[in-house]
């Protein structure tokens, strides 16, 4: 007798300018802690994490953290096309990072077509504003208006406190799953955005799988 280790595998990618907080966001989501010191991502970092959607379906997330520097764009392009979820990340204390979001979104759409990914607009470093350490440069209203205009999921987060970090990934994952259920998304050969899950012998300990958090680096 077998049961699934996970029912589906989704591939999500985080994009945005350098230093906006993409790596810290992923670190908190996968490890449950904030990285006080974080080296800039060079090329692409890979993480894996299990999450359950509202009906209990187990989803394995492949999470790709990309460098925001221009010189690494050619490396990251190959990771766009096989992504079903895209987190557009900006720093709420840096308006320029928000101004670049339309360019990141356009680039993602171009490389992922003909597939239509789920997009989320994710503001980072909320703790700096609430603590008074830095001034907010992107208002909640401005970001929410942009998200509404483009049909994006929207959430502000803090990787230091953990506020809304899990929600950011959960909302994207739930929407992908909803689109599978309503028939908009299908598992297709040759596309890694969505894959069927794997089966395991019933006597294996699922807790070992739940604890999985894998990481590798491409240069």
Mean pLDDT by 10 residues, the chain (219 residues): 75 92 92 69 73 96 74 64 94 98 93 94 96 95 98 97 97 98 92 83 44 40
**Residue-averaged pLDDT of the chain:** 84
The kind and range of the H/E element at 177 are helix 165-181
Element (H, E) at 118: strand 118-124
User: Mind listing the pLDDT tens digit for each residue in 17-50?
Assistant: 988 999 899 999 999 988 755 555 445 677 899 9
Question: In the 8-state DSSP scheme, what is residue 14?
Answer: E
Q: What is the pLDDT of residues 88-101, one digit of tens each?
A: 999 999 999 999 99
Residue ranges and CATH numbers for the domains of the chain are 6-194 (3.40.50.300)
The pTM assigned to this predicted structure is 0.84
Specify which residues 153 forms β-bridges with: 120
């Amino acid at each position: 007798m077998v049961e699934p280790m996970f029912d589906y595998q989704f591939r999500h990618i985080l994009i945005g300018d350098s230093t906006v907080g993409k790596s810290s966001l992923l670190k908190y989501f996968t490890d449950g802690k904030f990285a006080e010191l974080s080296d800039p991502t060079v090329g692409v970092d890979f993480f894996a994490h299990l999450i359950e959607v509202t009906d209990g379906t187990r989803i394995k997330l492949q999470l790709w953290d990309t460098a925001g520097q221009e010189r690494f764009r050619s490396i990251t392009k190959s990771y766009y096309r096989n992504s079903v979820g895209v987190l557009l990340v900006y720093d709420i204390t840096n308006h320029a990072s928000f101004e670049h979001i339309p360019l990141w979104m356009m680039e993602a759409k171009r490389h992922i077509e003909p597939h239509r990914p789920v997009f989320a607009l994710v503001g980072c470093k909320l703790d700096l504003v609430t603590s008074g350490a830095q001034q907010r440069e992107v208002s909640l209203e401005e970001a929410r208006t942009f998200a509404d205009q483009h049909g994006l999921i929207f959430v502000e987060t803090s990787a230091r406190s953990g506020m809304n970090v899990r929600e950011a990934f959960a909302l994207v994952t739930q929407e992908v799953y909803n689109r599978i259920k309503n028939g908009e998304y299908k598992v297709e050969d040759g596309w890694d955005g969505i894959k069927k899950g794997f089966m395991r012998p019933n006597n294996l300990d699922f807790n070992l799988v739940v604890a999985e958090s894998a990481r590798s680096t491409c240069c």
